[in-house]
Amino acid sequence: MYYYNIHEIIKVQSDVILYELEYFKSNEFSDWDLSIRTLDSLEGGLRLTRKILQDKSANSNRILYTEHLGSAGAQFSIDFGQRIEVTVNKLISKSRHVLYVNLVEPLLRFLLISKGFILLHSACMDKNESGLLLSAPPDTGKTTTVLKCVKNGFSFLSDDMTIIKLPNQALCFPKPMTISSHTFKTAVSVSNTRDTDPSMRVRSLVHSKTGRAFMHKLAKLNVPIFTINTIGQSIVRPPKYSINSILHDAIIKNDTTVDNLYFLKREGDDIIPLDTDKALDLAVENSDDAFIFPPYAELLKYIDIDNRTAFELLEDEKKMLRTFLSGIRCYVVKSETRGWFNMISKTIENKS
């Protein structure tokens, strides 16, 4: 069994290693919030479509997700109670990235909301005890910008998700970074990394924006999409690298006080201040983009944490996010040539 203690907020135990949570690896504990275990197979036979079955009784609030192939495909169950228990079949356990991204991380998001925190889709860094967040849709160029910042003296907290504690504190969430083909060419290849994995370029192309767009289109059809995704990512693993395997002297900082949030846009050439309402719309839009792949949409109507539905929790998250954004400076940084690092650096220098 593997144990992960996320900032003493959420404790996760799993019989499958979760590489995205390796930074939070912990000694054994018994007071867990989320448990993941594996069975050879779950109940359920062949069917015409993917479906969630619910058992909601006085002593149970359990859902079972199964697809066209039944027990031969991807299956999982979730028991919602005082603690959340996730059971997956062997097929899902073999693709640990899919297990984490499609099941564990969405549940972490709602658990964090229930405890008064936000799991915000953003990168986070610190320079001179001042924290900054970068937010952008997937495949915009955020990771490349993060690497350039860290190479130039910024401390690293996260590349993809940041835990926000009101009023304006960010807690690190240093998952392995997805290195796209563009990032490989513009940042990794000049970062003194010794990683020479010959499959890396192929893997980065398969897991590129084009590859994900194809899978999103496929998800709209009546196909066993979770099964396809699980098998596909077992064969072609995502190009994931820890920050220290790319930049060996990178400093990971535990927390910071956030002063600025920059939304990256691939257009024009300008920095525009944003009011709270516009910043909130962009932050919600970018966060939602990170959680759209099946079975997320199907799960929403069944999530129940502390007698609150997913929709009630998302409303709480939005209120907390508004409070957070109202206390910091927010900007849109526009660059057709992905020159965000230079633009942000000049902004920081002008304020110091």
Task: Give 312-342 as a DSSP string.
Answer: HHHHHHHHHHHHHHTTSEEEEEEETT--HHH
Residue 314's pLDDT is what?
96
Residue 186's pLDDT is what?
61
Sign of CA dihedral 143, 145, 146, 150: positive
40-89 pLDDT, tens per residue? 888 877 787 888 888 876 677 899 999 888 888 999 999 998 899 999 99
Closest-CA residue to 156 (of 253, 23, 241, 20):
253
242-295 pLDDT, tens per residue? 999 889 999 999 999 999 999 999 999 999 999 999 999 999 998 888 888 888
Cα–Cα distance list, 259 to 128, 271, 274 (Å): 12, 16, 14
Q: Are 78 and 86 in contact (CB under 8 A)?
A: yes
Cα–Cα distance list, 217 to 101, 289, 298 (Å): 18, 14, 16
More confident: 262 or 220: 262
Cα–Cα distance list, 281 to 201, 270, 275 (Å): 35, 20, 10
Q: How far apart, in Å, do the first and last CA atoms of the chain sit?
A: 48
Residue 190 burial by Cβ neighbours in a 10 Å radius (0-12, 13-18, 19+): exposed
Identity of the amino acid at 4: Y
Rounded CA-CA distance 178/158 in Å is 12
133-168 pLDDT, tens per residue? 999 987 788 999 999 999 999 999 999 999 999 999
Q: Residues near 330 by Cβ (< 8 Å), separated by ≥ 6?
A: 260, 261, 262, 263, 273, 274, 275, 276, 278, 279
Token duo for residue 331: 């900007």
Q: Are 183 and 278 in contact (CB under 8 A)?
A: no
Residue 238's pLDDT is what?
82
Rounded CA-CA distance 263/184 in Å is 22
Cα–Cα distance list, 104 to 110, 154, 280 (Å): 10, 29, 25
Give exposure, 88-106, as e/b (b: 16+ Cβ within 10 Å).
Answer: bbebbbbbbbbbbbbbbbb
91-135 pLDDT, tens per residue? 999 999 999 999 999 999 999 999 999 999 999 999 999 999 999
Please state whether beta strands 10-14 and 130-135 pair in parallel, antiparallel, or not at all (unpaired): unpaired
Residue 135's pLDDT is what?
96
